[in-house]
Every structure is written in structure tokens, then in C-alpha cells.
Structure 1
Amino acid sequence: MTHSTQQKLWTLPFIFLIIANLFTFMSFQMLLPNLPPYIESIGGTSLQVGLITTTFAFAAIIIRPFIGHMLMTRPRKVLVMVGSVSLLIMTVLYPVTQVVVALLIIRFIHGIAWGWSTTVNGTAAVDLVPRRRVGEGMGYFGLSVTVGMIMAPSIGIFLYQNYSFDLLVWISAGLGVIAIILFAFTSFVTPAQVYENQKNPPKFSFVGSLVEKKSWYPALVTILNTFGYGSVITYIVIFGNEQGLSGTFLFYFFNALFATLSRPITGRYFDKHGPWKLIIVCSGLSFIAMWLLALSNSNVDLIIAGSLFGLGYGSMMPALQAWVISKTTTERSGIANGMYYSSIDLGIGASAFLLGFVYQFVETATLFKLSSFLFLVVMILTFLDQRKQTKPWQAPR
């Protein structure tokens, strides 16, 4: 099936893909904030707590150039199914052992599956979205990412704190099964250029498949942006335990709620005006939210911080993805999309690794304060790029 030139956005395949991707992200993100305290509970050191995130991120980054190259010559559906099934297999392996080293190996392989799946799914969405509506379309697709990243951890934290890690894993696996079924019934679109490339396959270059040069600037901004989120996802449960806060999940719930409510507005704004003012405002909101989180001593504080973080960080991520994609060609959208997700993993992984060392010497709240300043750097870099623009923004064709 060749790439459609029609401007219709809400097709049945696009709807199926959004829902399936939501279940994929929920399945994965339910585990993410609970693995660090789980590792700590079975005797893991503070460095190993950081490594559980870093090893996964490193694996995801390493695999993405290969997937990006495969997307230039392979139809979408097989690649989507392989990624989804691989994620399910790795998920059910976590309860098999309580040896930290073995869990780190499982996490590394899980990272490979995650890097595969996120790159392929995101590229499949780009193929289904009309080029002139990429901001709006990827904004709605980004809801499946943002809601999964933000709502699922709240559910996972609730299950882990009130039941058991094993139950958490099996519910996560159940969501993965639903995702596989939905992907199986989705009709994917493959660009015509992919079939042309099969006749004369492009040569593989690790760097060329890892980096889309035209999109390097928004990818850098994404790395810095997700560094702040990395501190939240790694340490918020530990922070809640230290502060005696029973409603840590409320931060994620209201984060997801406000990110969802703002998405239709921010997606259309991107298509009309571009990414700059949107990201500048949202990074400022994220900075404030991080300090509110660090100073939280009640569940109400967590709700306020989560709501503000949802408006800020939750609105920024799909805008950054659309910004990355808008700077490249349709043929290389898979590579650009892979670089975007690698930027997320690199930011989160670097945050977990570096803060893992700092965590030995400071309070958990201080980690949130330190990482918050990365949002100010995002604001400055985006402002500087806006100053360079000489032509009015035009949505990509």
C-alpha cells in the first residue's frame, strides 16, 4: 500500500495505531518507576538503581540505527509485530530472578526491544499522517505516548505499593497482549520510496542511520528536556516514601489529565505557528513544576505539581517530535523518528546515571531541583533558534 496524499487524518488504521501504541506504552511505563525501588528492595546499590535505567537506554539507542535503516527498505507491519512480541517476552521475564546482575541483563535486552518498537511505531504513524497536518497528527499520536508515560506509572505505583511486583508484571504483560492484537488488525501504510529502495538498497551507515543531520538541533533540545523527566521517573517513588506521601501516583494522574486536555490546542498551534513559542512557554512551566515537586509535603502539592508538569512537559514532547520530523524528508522520517526516541532515552539514561552518583550525597528533592535547570537551558536554546528564523513558519508538505 503506497503513501496516501489525502488530507484526512482520522482513518481507522490511525485510530487503531494510536490505541495499540497506548497499550504498548502503558505496558512498559507501568514498570519504569517501580524498577528502581524494586532493585533497592532486593539489595541493589544506589549505583545499580541508576544502572537499571541507563542500561535500558543504552540498548535502545544502539539498536535504533539498524531499525532506522531497515525502515528504508521494509514494510511496516512485520517490524511492528516483531517489536511488540519482543516487548511482551522480556516483560514476563522480570519475576524469574532476584539477582540484580541478571535483571540488568534482562533490562538491556528489554531496551533493545523498546528501541525497536518505539522507532517502528512512531514511523508508522508518520506514514499515516498527512504531511501538512504532521503537528496535529503527531500531537494526537503523541497522546498515546504521553498518556502512557504519565498515567501508566501512577497505576504501576499503586499496584506495586499495595499489592506486589509480580502482579504488576502480569498486568503489564496483559496490556502488551492487547497491543499485539490491535497491531495485528491495523492496516499500515508504506511509502512508495521504500519499495524503490528494495530494488537498490541504500548502504548501511551506523552514524548515518543514527543521526538525521537536518534534525540535530531539536534532537539536542529533546535530550536536555528529558533529562529533567529522568529524575522524576527514577526517583519520585523513593521521594514519596521518604516524605511519607501516599499519593505519589496522583502526580502522574494529573500530569496525564492536563497533558491530554492541552493536546488538541498545542497540536494545532504547532501547525500554524511552529515550535518555538510553544516550547519556550512549556519549558518554563516544567521548571516551575519541578520546584513545586521538590518542595511537596502533601498530596495536594503533588496534584498541583503534576498538573503544571502535564501542561509543560506533556505538551512539549509531541511538539519536539513534530519539530524533528518537520525538518527531514519522508524517506528519512524513520531515521529522524529513531533519533527523536534515542534522544529521549539518552536524556533519561544520562539523568539516571549522573544523578545515581549525586544521589549518594544529597536528598532526593535536591535531584529534582538540580535537573530543573535543564528546562531553562531548553528555553534559551529554543529562543536562540527562533531568533535565527528569517521566514514565516510553514507546515511541512
Structure 2
Amino acid sequence: MLMVGNLFVFMSFQMLIPTFPPYIKSIGASGLEIGLVTTLFSVGAVISRPFIGYMLEYRGRRPLVIIGAIMLFAVTIIYPLSSVVLFFLLFRLIHGMAWGWSTTVNGTAAVDLVPNSRLGEGMGYYGLSITIGMIIAPSLGIYLYQVTSFTNLIYLSAALGFIAIILLSIIQYQTPEAVKQVNKEELKFSYMGSLIEKSSWYPAFITIVTTFGYGSIVTFIVIFADERGIDQVFLFYLTNAIMASISRPIAGKWFDTRGPIGIVIFCLFITFIGMWVLSFAHHNWTIAAAGILFGIGFGSLIPTLQSWTLSETPPHRRGVANGMYFSSIDLGIGLGGLVFGILAPFVDTGTLFQISSVFLLIAIVMTIVKGKKGKQPQTQASS
């Protein structure tokens, strides 16, 4: 039920993402202001996560999950009022803060429901709700934006968000005993202490390096397809989603039985190959092949890195670790898009993908170094 509820959260959110830039451009935004649509959202998410991570150290899961869903719903329904660029950008900052809250809490609630002995497999299944939402919703949003008004699109998004609130309200949540026993009065808030979980910072840092390289794909794949005359770019997303859905449970079981090092290296290497296949793509079938490789590699890598991060974290600090993990993704993709955007005028997009693939090799080396130190975490059976 949490997977289904989270799917509706992601559907509601992701269907709006590709429509925001053309909408804000239509109301008179400059190029810089269009760029701020993404930047301010990421800033808001990163700002809010330490606070919710701190609250997850002592609060039950149900109210926090429901509040997050309600905040997302509330921000969504006020977008039609944002006919002024400044107000729209302010809403994006607030939306990012609500998104940071919701993704951190929902992910932590999922961890609490999964036995430690099946953490990798369980988070792989949970990640499917994210993958499916991210694949289906943007295409739906683009279609609706083209055939109807932005306001009607907002209303449909809000309707999906309202369904998410209902679904998330009827779940039987579990709060770890260690969290229940925490005395709030003795728990002091530290922004940095709630932003970074020291016990699991290393896999989170690998996540930043990995998503930094992936940031070039997120930012430029549609432009790349236009440059190469590839008219079915959706095949990349479709094959990506199919292979990610198939491979994630397998990768999760690998993680549970053998630990993270081997599966992370494998996924990074497959993603590296996929990035080079994509860089040489000139036909629909080539971009579909790249999507298959990305689905197997990157599609399994992200939940594996999350499971690795959480497996090294004490139960009462998993909320903080989850926030750190999601902030690592936002930071990596955001910085990657910015840096490769600066580099883009000087090289063709295919070469840009090849350059960004170097960061996957760096992540592989970092993982090998961690494995050689003999600090590979071992998941323990749930009591």
C-alpha cells in the first residue's frame, strides 16, 4: 500500500516537471529564471531534509507521512495563482521543501516496514513506485499540457495527490522501538548533524559522484535526440523502466546475500557502458539499447546505494540517513546539470556524455577502495 501511495505521489509530482519551463516562459520568464525553476526546487528540498530527518529520530511515521502528502497537495493547487514569475519561483522553493519532507519520510517508513535481512530486496520493490512514476507521468504531463490548459493539468495532478493522501492514511506503519524510546528533551538539533549521518556518509558520497555524471543525461538527452534526428526518445525511458523493474528485485537479493560492493561495481560498469552506447546513438534502436543498459545498471544502482546507506545506519538515525541520501541525488544531478551545461557550448552532446562517464569510473574506484578496507556492511535478520 505504501508503494501504491508513493506511486501516486510521484505521478502527481512528475507529470508537472516537464511543463514548468514552457509555462514560466509563457508568462515572461528570462533564461535565468527558467533555470531557477529547477535550482530553487533542489535548494528547497536540501534545506528541509535535515529538519525532517531530526523529527524522524523521535516522531511516529504516520503523521509525518500524511503531513508531507498534504503539503504537496496544497502547494500543487495554488500553482494556477502564479501568473507572476516571482510568485512562481517562490512556490517552487516551497514545493521543493515539501518534496524533501515527503520523500524522506516515505522512504524511511518503507525501511521500517522491511525486515533487515531483506533490506536490499524490499527497497528495490519500493523503488519501483518511483521508477514507474518517473517514466509514465512526464509523458502524460506533456500530452495534457499540449491538449488542454496548464490549470487543468494542475487539477489532475492535485487529484492524484489527493488519492495519495487517502492511500497513505490507511497504512499500518511501524516505528522502530529505538525511536519510541528517544527522549525529545534530550535530543538536541544540529543542522549539520541532521544533514549528514557520519556512519553512512561514504555510500552517500558515491551517490553524489554517480548522479553528477548522470546529470548530463537528465539535462541533455532530449536535446541530444533532436541533434541526432532520433524521433522516438521515449524508447530510452520505456526500455529503462522495463529493465529496471525486472532487475531491481534481483539486485536487491544480491545485496542481501553478498553485500553492496559487488552489485554496486556491476551496476556502475553497466551504466558506464550504457552511457557510451548512448553517446554513439543515431537510431531509435540504439537509444533503446542504451535504455536497456541504463535500466539494468542505473535503475538497480540507485536503490542499492540507498540500501547500502541505510544498512550502515543505526535504526533511530535512518531518517537522517534517508534525507542525506536523497539530498545526495539532488545535489549530484543539480551540480552535474550546471557544470555540463557550462561545458555544452564547447563540445557536442555525445562527447559530453562520454566526459560525464568518467565520474562513473571514479565511483567504481571508490567502491573498490571501500571493499578492500574490509568494511562491507552485513545486514542482520530482523528480530
Which of 89, 97, 109 pairs up with 2:82? Answer: 97
In structure 2, the partner of 1:381 is 366
Uncovered stretches (5+) of structure 1, i.e. residues with no partner? 1-15
Q: Which residue of 1 aligns with 2:378?
A: 394
Aligned-pair CA distance for 1:386 = 1.2
Are 1:74 and 2:59 counterparts? yes
8 Å contact from structure 1 (residues 262, 311) kept in 2: yes
Q: Which position in structure 2 is the counterpart of 1:295? A: 280
Could you tell me whether the CA contact under 8 Å between 2:65 and 2:106 is conserved in 1?
yes
Q: Which residue pairs with 1:5 in the alignment? A: none
Q: CA deviation at 1:20?
A: 0.7
What one-letter code is carried by the residue in structure 1 that aligns with 2:211? Answer: T
Cα deviation, 1:273-296, whole Å, max 9, x if unaligned, reads 111111111112212222333333
**Paired AA for residue 357 in structure 1:** I
Shift of the alpha carbon at 1:144?
Answer: 1.6
Which of 273, 288, 293 aligns to 1:308? It is 293
Determine the C-alpha separation between the residues in 2 that align with 1:88 and 1:290: 36
- The answer on 1:134 being equivalent to 2:134 is no
Change (3 A) 1:101 1:352: farther
Given that 1:51 and 1:352 are in contact with CA atoms closer than 8 Å, whether structure 2 keeps it comes out as: no
Identify the residue that residue 230 of structure 1 maps to in structure 2.
215
CA deviations over 1:339-372 (Å, ceiling 9, x no partner): 1111111112212332333345444444433322
AA of the residue aligned to 2:53: G
Task: Report the number of matched residues.
Answer: 381
Render the CA deviation track for 1:245-281: whole Å, top value 9, x for unaligned: 4322222121111000111211100001111111111
Give deviations 1:44-101, integer Å, cap 9, x for gaps. Answer: 5554444322221111111111101111121111111111111122223444435444
Q: What pairs with 1:207-246 in structure 2 (closer than 5 Å)?
A: 207-246=192-231
> Residue in 2 aligned with 1:6?
none
Distance in 1 (CA, whole Å) between partners of 2:88 and 2:353 is: 26
- Give the share of equivalent positions with the same residue, in percent: 52
Is residue 20 of structure 2 the alignment partner of residue 35 of structure 1?
yes
Shift of 1:337: 1.0
What do you get for the CA RMSD once the two structures are aligned? Answer: 2.4
- Contact 2:12–2:158 (CA under 8 A) maintained in structure 1: yes
Match of 1:382, as an amino acid?
T
Q: 1:201 to 1:328 in 2, by over 3 A?
A: same
More moved, 133-142 vs 314-323: 133-142
Pairwise CA distance, 1:123: 0.8
The one-character-per-residue Cα deviations of 1:121-143 (angstroms, maximum 9, x if unpaired) are 01111111112221111121122
Structure 2 residue runs of 5 or longer lacking an equivalent are: none
- Structure 1 Cα separation of the partners of residues 205 and 10 of structure 2: 23
C-alpha displacement at 1:196, in angstroms?
A: 2.1
Paired with 1:35 and 1:371, the residues of 2 have a C-alpha distance of 26
**Structure 1 counterpart of 2:206, one-letter code:** V
Q: Kindly provide the CA deviation profile for residues 153-200 of structure 1, in whole angstroms up to 9, marking residues without a partner as x.
A: 344344446666555444333322221110011111112232322464
**Distance verdict in 2 for CA 1:324–1:101, change over 3 Å:** same
Q: Quick one: distance in 2 between partners of 1:70 and 1:352?
A: 31
1: distance between equivalents of 2:196 and 2:313? 11
Q: Quick one: distance in 2 between partners of 1:40 and 1:354?
A: 23
Measured at CA, do residues 202 and 64 of structure 1 come closer, stay the same or move farther in structure 2, by a change above 3 Å?
same
> Which of 115, 118, 139 is equivalent to 2:100?
115
* Cα shift at 1:244: 4.5
* Structure 1 residue identity aligned to 2:327: S
- Which residue of the partner structure matches residue 11 of structure 1? none
Which string of whole-angstrom CA distances, capped at 9 and with x for unpartnered residues, describes residues 190-242 of structure 1?
A: 12232322464401011111111010100001111222333333333344444
Asked if structure 2 preserves the Cα contact closer than 8 Å seen for 1:138 and 1:322, the reply is: yes
Note if contact 1:212-1:335 (Cα within 8 Å) is conserved in structure 2.
yes
Using the TM superposition, give the Cα deviation of residue 394 of structure 1 relative to its aligned residue in structure 2, in angstroms: 2.6
Which amino acid in structure 1 is aligned with residue 50 of structure 2?
A: P
Shift, 1:314, TM fit: 0.3
Measured in 1, the distance between the counterparts of 2:148 and 2:38 equals: 23
Paired amino acid for 2:82: T
Give the match for residue 9 of structure 1: none
Which residue identity lines up with residue 244 of structure 2 in the other structure? A
Q: Which amino acid aligns with 2:99?
A: W
Pick from 326, 341, 346 the counterpart of residue 356 of structure 1.
341
Aligned to 2:177: 192
Change (3 A) 1:27 1:203: same
> CA 1:149 to 1:255, structure 2 compared with 1: closer, same or farther past 3 Å?
same
Q: Distance in 1 between matches of 2:374 and 2:31?
A: 45
Note the C-alpha offset of 1:324. 0.1
Amino acid at match of 1:278: I
Larger mean Cα displacement after TM superposition, 175-184 or 186-195? 186-195
